[in-house]
Structure 1
Amino acid sequence: MRIATKALIASGGVAAALLGTAGMASAAPDTEAIVNTTCTYPQIIAAVNAQDPAVAQQITSDRQAVGVLQGFVAANPQQRRGLIAQAQMFPQLTQYTGLINNVAGTCNNF
């Protein structure tokens, strides 16, 4: 397992959840919205803050979570798929599925 994924799980998993569990509840995960997002890190954080300020605070107060989320945003779609596959190994992150889908669908508005 990559160091970044371990760090996120240790720090609450919020950023990993934001980048890795969209669609996990369905039989065939649909992660394309988050994989192909054109949103910037500030747009994603603004969308998270608008939908769940506590989660946004968790992310922004943890340097490792910020770094991983920024790395995800900077990655190309194929790299994002790999990061998502790693995060999907942690079923405890499924609680963020709705938030992820909402963020992926609204972050361009910020």
Structure 2
Amino acid sequence: MTTNKDFCHDKDLVKSFNKLSKEEFLETYEYIDELEYNATRRKLNNNTKNMNEDYSISIPFSNEELEEMLHENKSFEWVFPTNENENVQITIHLYKEE
């Protein structure tokens, strides 16, 4: 590849990456260099670290909004930018159980 970027976007490569040792992987996929392998390792380690962190959102609602939620189904959606130039979308659906 020689882009010196990671290959996290390629599901098949990542699957092999997780199964094989570094040496086996680089021998099997000769078109991927060690810099790309290391970049992928860093990104996957960082993603795993982020998944283990807890996140919370505080959402203030007025009494009127809370009362409205008791009687109507509601959906709320937020999109948060990340430092990886990607977005995380969170959608919450509140519905009245009958």
What TM-score results when the alignment is normalised by the length of structure 1?
0.26
Greater share of residues in strand? 2
What TM-score results when the alignment is normalised by the length of structure 2?
0.28
